[in-house]
Structure 1
Amino acid sequence: MLLPFGRSRFKGRTTMGRPRRDISADTGKHARLARQLSELRPRNTTLADLAKLTGISASTLSRATKATEYPSWKTMLEYLTAFGEDPDDWRPQWDMCATERQRSQAGVPADPAQRAPYQRMMPTSVLDKHTCAVGLRELRIWRGSPTYAAMSHHASKQDQPVAKTTISDVLNAKIVPSVNALKGILAGLGMGPDDPEYDQWLQARRVLEATEMRQKIATKALQHATNRRVHRARPMLSPVRRED
């Protein structure tokens, strides 16, 4: 049973148990969130106590405070509420690093007022294929988190076919989408040319393509210059005469 926000189940507890793990030196991908979650747990509260009251296993709770792993939103809800925290205050930070699957399972906040802190990334903020993937993943959440199969099927019905594997590659930042692939993804999410955001996405893709082309040219030029320097620096070898 969850307590109302603002009340901790562990207030006044003096339970002795395994000391809280010191994660101050952790530098993993999720170190910041792990450190903040760990600081919520009083040093005299054991993971076993927390597990009994939340229904979440002690191992799962332990992983929630590891810098190398990321807790599900369900775990966050139970963990935060147990210590009197309002989960809605933590949602924007959690959303920033959650995986696509975790976001889909969590959905958007039910209360429209709570959606304000979590603004979806728009195409005008896309800088590279990674932010492009984030923006499209967030758009997918806003459109009800359809499966890749559903997106592909809907796109085909709109005469904008796109394969499930292509959708996966784009939304996981493996590739910059082609024009047709992006149109297919947008069609699969129910967005058509009549939506002002549609052209913004196409423009963002053109910018990404141009940026990648410039990077390839710069890389090739640098490699060519390096090869020339190595060639010029190579010493000339002259035959050595033997003297009897």
Structure 2
Amino acid sequence: MPRPEKPITWDGPLADLAQALRDLRWRAGRPSYRDLEERTRHSRSVLADAAAGYRCPTWEVTHDFVVACGENPDDWRPRWEFARAAAGKDRPVERKPRRPRGEAVRAAKQRASVAADMPVSSSAPPDPELARTPMQFRYQLRTLRAWAGNPFPNPTHRVDSSNLWVPSSTMYDALDVKQSHLPALRVVRAIVTMCTGDAEQVERWLDVWRAINMAEYQRANPPPPGLGRDPWAN
């Protein structure tokens, strides 16, 4: 029995391409990499490496992988070009995903504890109102993207019907749960719009963002004594 593939535990266009190739293989009936080797001009190790997510495969490998699994490679070209641009053309990428060390380990445990306390529904989108801190808000936003099927296939995205475009790299940064500050409001609008397409959901997420933002502001900038009281009152 072939060994199971290692899970992709990091984010980014390269990870998205690798996961998409894995999903494609499942839709095709999960042929082994030996079977794919026989259908293509590439070795099984090269094909498996294309779906590992550590580095960007060549277009020839991606093309033949997709054809061998019965789909149109033309539909995959933009996704591959985006991953190649993110990885750096002809530039090697770190073979192993970054693993937390020191302070990052403790932060990862804290995020896991927060996540364990948050209920997850397979049908309804994640609830932004469960978040009380910027890190929790980012976690819920990241969960929303997972619930929506991990979109962001293109380098830039239009926010609503406006002419404002947001780079995917900015969106990925907004999902980084290691950051202790809120992502930009316009980026939250873009992500929730893309994941739900529901104006009410968008406004709900923005309302929670504003509430957390004001709480953080007031915590860092406490009001002066007597604010809101009548200065002429006895």
TM range (shorter): 0.3 to 0.5
Higher Cα Rg, which structure: 1
Q: Give the structure-2-normalised TM-score.
A: 0.40
Q: Give the structure-1-normalised TM-score.
A: 0.39
